[in-house]
Amino acid sequence: MKSTASLERSRRITTIITYAVLILGAVIMIFPFVWMILTSSKTVPESMQIPPTIFPAQLILDNFKDAIASLPFGRLYINTALMVFWRVVCAIAFSSMAGYAFAKLHFRGKNLLFAIVLVQMSLPSQIFIIPQYQMVAKLGMANTIFALVFPGIVSAFGTFFLRQTYMGIPTEIGEAAFLDGCNQWQTFYKIMFPLTGTSVAALTIFTAVFAYGDLMWPLVVNSDLDMMTLSSGLSTLKGQFSTNFPVLMAGSLLAMLPMVILYLIFQRQFVEGIAGTGGK
């Protein structure tokens, strides 16, 4: 049998190792951001020195100026915000309705229709780009916010995800409301929907993060520089500056800033919103 002292010592060693590994991991996670910041204020020749310098010789903002001169960042922020907002609203509204119906209502063809939802999730999104672009073009809506929102009007993932949530809510709650004289819509809207707050919050985060990172669609559908999103704008910047990394890093920082700030403010909600979705 081990003595208490040696047990204490091995526990302390474990703790130290735990911290060491976590700190090392955190450094790896943070490093690309640090490197992005450092590179963004170097001159091009400086960034390509061998051996490289860690810190820029002097803090220069020229790269940021170049990035801002090439892209209308103000518009990009607004466009991205509008796209994210509308995709989130659509995803919540339509997916809640469909998720509730699939989970709680009985109707013919339910399983077949739900299969459509599942099939969609396994399809690669690249095959939708051309047909969807043609639809938008036919509607005469290319280069609008509507075009950016278009593929996100409905969400198979959201439907699937909220169906799981509604499945977890006891059916008795709905039945009680029904007996109180609510119709199906009222039961859903007044009783059930408010119970899904955490899942809706999580879906908001998923949808927002995905929409914000979406690259191919905005690139194809909106070619007007004033109607681009941050991601597609960044890609345009790459087209212009090729492998001039300091300018690209400056542009990346500007593009990432709003989301990172939002995240740091709401990080608890972000992380816990996601954490609450585990399990099924």
Smallest distance, another protein to C-beta of residue 67, A:
12
Identify the residue among 7, 57, 176, 215 touching another protein (CB under 8 A): 215
- Contact between 110 and another protein (CB under 8 A)? yes
Q: Could you tell me if 88 and 206 are in contact, meaning their C-beta atoms sit under 8 angstroms apart?
A: no
Cα gap 30→155, rounded to integer Å: 32
The one segment of 2-10, 47-55, 165-173 that binds another protein by CB under 8 A: 47-55
**In the range 230-259, which residues lie near another protein by CB under 8 A?**
230-231, 234-236, 238-245, 248-249, 252-253, 255-256, 259
**Which of 129, 101, 254 is closest to 188 using CA atoms?**
101
- Contact between 269 and another protein (CB under 8 A)? no
Structure token pair of residue 8: 């204490």
Smallest distance, another protein to C-beta of residue 35, A:
6
- DSSP strands (E only) in 38-184: none
Which value, to the nearest 10 degrees, does the dihedral of the CA atoms of residues 165, 151, 239, 68 take? -70
**In the range 139-158, which residues lie near another protein by CB under 8 A?**
140-146, 149-151, 153-156
- Contact between 198 and another protein (CB under 8 A)? no
- Contact between 77 and another protein (CB under 8 A)? no
Phi and psi of 161, rounded to 5°? -65, -45
Total number of residues shown for the chain? 280
The one segment of 2-10, 130-138, 165-173 that binds another protein by CB under 8 A: 130-138
How much helix, strand and coil, in percent to the nearest 5, is found in the chain? 80, 0, 20
**Contact characters 3-42, another protein, x per CB under 8 A:** -----------xx--xx-xx--xx-xxxxxx-xx--x---
